[in-house]
Chain A
Amino acid sequence: MPVPELPLKSVAELGPLLKGRKLSPVELVQASLDRIEALNPKVQAFLTVTAAQALDQARQAEREIARGRYRGPLHGIPYAPKDLFATKGVRTTNGSKVTADWGPDFESTVTARLQRAGAILVGKLNLLEFAMGSGQKGLNGPARNPWDLAYSPSGSSSGSGAALAAGMVPLTLGTDTGGSIRGPAKSCGVVGLKPTYGRISRFGVTALSWTLDHVGPMARTVADVAQMLQVIAGADPRDPAAAAKAVPDYVKALRGGVKGLRLGIPTNHYFNHVHPETDAALRRAIRVLKDLGMVLVDITVAHAGLVGPTSGVILASESAAFHEQRLKQHAELFDPLVRERLEAGTFHSAMDYIKALRARTLLVEEMRRVFGLCDVLMLPAGNAAPQLELEIVGTDAPRNPPLPPRPDSFNLANVTGIPALVLPCGFTGGPPALPLGIQFCARYFDEATLFRVGHAYQAATDWHQRIAPVTA
């Protein structure tokens, strides 16, 4: 059976076809399911496929659209969340043997909002256990990178990146505590947004570290990420951290252009030890943005060396607290590496934790200063250490050292809560040719400006249009 290519299209392309009844939601969802069936044995992006339920919902969407009840641009679009989002009546494993049989009796706010918008859940996506760290085997083995199956899609939203790169669905959801959306987006050559802290409700999403965790949309284009954020953003009384702040028109913002916007380029810390291929790709991207009319501004980020230690202590302490009871009752069911990290977190003192929160205050103040000087801050997407640029997945993940320093270029946005967008900006020379990424950060709640920049960059380049070579 040939592998259908329909799910490789963007939401921006599919939406008008569905609305105009030139394409049936049933046809689209079936194509998505066929592609998952054909490619998932190799890519292992999905842990659960909800074929029957998805086709039922597709038929309902078909009837609604035929009756003139078109709900909006996501109506009839197949999507899948990382298996960390509670989905009523659908197994939610958290990628862990500890919760492998959990069947929630409630729905996460974000998946409920997508359902109301008419998006169709086709399954749940692979991840690293409880969204923690990297290099683990996962519940049913790791997801693979569709650009080369010997390579990791990065984590922890590994399935969310891999499913997009393999063209199984046009939209996915991830979570990001220290780069877990942006790492897979970079490694898989797709787009991932870690929004402002409080922009998207986390109700019904299994926590890792309450003050670092973010939910975010992923897609193959910036425009589709903007469309998804439009639907899922906003206040939620069930998540006290969700901000009661108006949701702007992100799709309209895409057309804003970038002429005159100030692009901050760090002159310290973030470009130290960047791999030469990554560095060259980033420099090319800067030239493209300058040609589009952005004004380049040199930026020195104070306290940059505090980001890694601050993130490390907060993450270790909060995750150990979150999993306290599970560790006491089911320690042997955890992946050995995750268990090590959680148990090590119990050794941090309140002094360390409070010191980290005070360091965070300094970093938040620094972001206030930085975004007085520029509108968008450009950073590398991922760990600057060259040996981790391409991470090979082994059948046995290394056990020591158990927790390498988390990449500062991602953690800055988690520690301070600023929004950050990653998108593809090139490929390694190869073989294999693997995606390279660029990261843009902006002021709090200014995702619209990130979309302006990202959309303008994608309009001027074609990196996002390349198709991963995975075959059935």
Chain B
Amino acid sequence: MKVDRRLFVGSLMLSGGSGVASPQQPAAPDLESLRVVSAAHGVRLTDERLLVLKPVLESRQGQLRVLRDLTVGDEVAPTAGIPGGDLASETH
């Protein structure tokens, strides 16, 4: 698939892969961007499905923006599970 630079950057913004998006202007996905991201993620949804998903993805942009704009220190590692046992004794 041939993809121009503008489209590629737009697709990256949609999937959170670029830091160039303006915080005030969440990326509004267009159909071609959705095609690119879907293909890049190995899903390859039909245009019919992508049109159904477009408003869903648009509605999630605000939430995504909150996370993408969050600045965290290098010392903050991901928590996949919950380290429950330790906290129970520490906080009593």
Contact = CB atoms under 8 A, between A and B. Distances in A.
A163 to B, nearest CB: 29
Interface stretch (A111-119, A274-282, A366-374): A366-374
B23 interface: no
B21 interface: no
A347 B35 CA distance: 10
A402 B54 CA distance: 11
A306 B19 CA distance: 19
Interface residues of A, number: 51
Main secondary structure of the interface of A (DSSP, over half): helix
Given A403-B56, A444-B84, A352 B16 contact: yes
Q: Which of B38, B59, B79 has the most CB of A within 10 A?
A: B79
B63 A364 contact: no
Contacts of A443: 87-88, 91-92
B20 interface: no
Contacts of A340: 52-53, 56
Interface string A327-369: 0000000000000110110111101101111111110100110
B78 A354 contact: yes
Interface residues of B, number: 40
Interface in A51-88: none
Nearest to A198: B84
Contact of A310 (B49, B59, B67): B67
A355 to B, nearest CB: 5
Contacts of A319: none
B79 A402 contact: no
Given A245-B85, A347-B37, A347-B57, A306 B70 contact: yes
Contacts of A405: 63
Contacts of A445: 84-85, 88
B43 A346 contact: yes
Given A211-B80, A443-B92, A343 B49 contact: yes
Interface of B: 14-17, 34, 37-38, 41, 43, 45, 49, 52-53, 55-57, 59-60, 63-64, 66-68, 70, 72, 76-85, 87-88, 90-92
7 contacts: A313-B67, A343-B52, A346-B43, A348-B16, A358-B77, A401-B56, A405-B63
